[in-house]
Amino acid sequence: MANLSAIMTVMQNAARKASRNLLRDFNEVEHLQVSRKGPADFVSRADRKAEEVIVENLQRDRPGYSFLLEEGGSIEGSDKTHRFIVDPLDGTTNYLHGIPHFAISIALEREIDGNPKEIVAGLVYNPITDEMFFAEKGKGAFVNDGTRGGGDRRLRPSQRDVFQDSLFSTGIPFLGRPGHAKFLKELHQVMGHSAGVRRMGAASLDLAWTAAGRYDGFWERGLAPWDIAAGVLIAQEAGCIVESLSGGNVIETGDIVCSNADLIEILKAKLG
């Protein structure tokens, strides 16, 4: 059983409250009022409402903290050392097509004594399965099975060490974004030498599932901080190795590769 800190309790409560509207509207998905945000990238009324609920609840408990939001951009708080990074609906396209695979992602970034900012707490919540994946820096990673009554279980990555037996996850560049040719080359290299590749459409859950050992590895390019901030910490605290495919800070570059210690170098080599 994980010993939840005050801030993790606040974050989980905010995610669960936001999920209520998401679940209600998901059951009536054909009635959602949507607006076009870009090719293959829709923003829904449910998305915006979930973000509002999350911000409202987090601000009430941590009124000075800043925010980086997928929909609302940046909110500068009086406390410049703490910032929440929020994706209220990772997997928006799935959601709007009635596909039950999406998540709420909340991370807390902290700067201490002028040192580089780091993610110190993160959660990825799947409202459909009621699975709450979460981690705090130095405390390990866990999943709460919610309605299944499993309590908090510690996450561990897959122990597979043979690439051809391993299952990987990735994301496909959206219409209108560069990188399709490079992606197809990478996909060919991994698919041709592994047990398979899955594309589920929610990077935060891809990372959480890799942390849980469901996938043996994950890679994707061009992701935003809110897509991966929480998932990166969860994967690292579970024992996965997470790196940037383009060098530098993975949350800043958005080019991510994640796997266990036995497979990470092989996967990186396949990705060129």
25 in a known ligand binding site: no
Pair type for strands 167-170 and 217-220? parallel
Are 250 and 244 in contact by the 8 Å Cβ rule? The answer is yes
Q: Which two tokens stand for residue 29?
A: 């998905």
Residue 45, exposed/middle/buried by CB under 10 A (0-12, 13-18, 19+)?
Answer: middle
Pair type for strands 167-170 and 196-198? parallel
How many Å apart are CA 119 and CA 34, to the nearest integer?
Answer: 32
71 in a known ligand binding site: no
How many Å apart are CA 4 and CA 10, to the nearest integer?
Answer: 10
How many Å apart are CA 220 and CA 259, to the nearest integer?
Answer: 12
205 in a known ligand binding site: no
165 in a known ligand binding site: no
Binding residues for Mg(2+): 70, 87, 89-90, 227
Binding residues: 70, 87, 89-90, 227
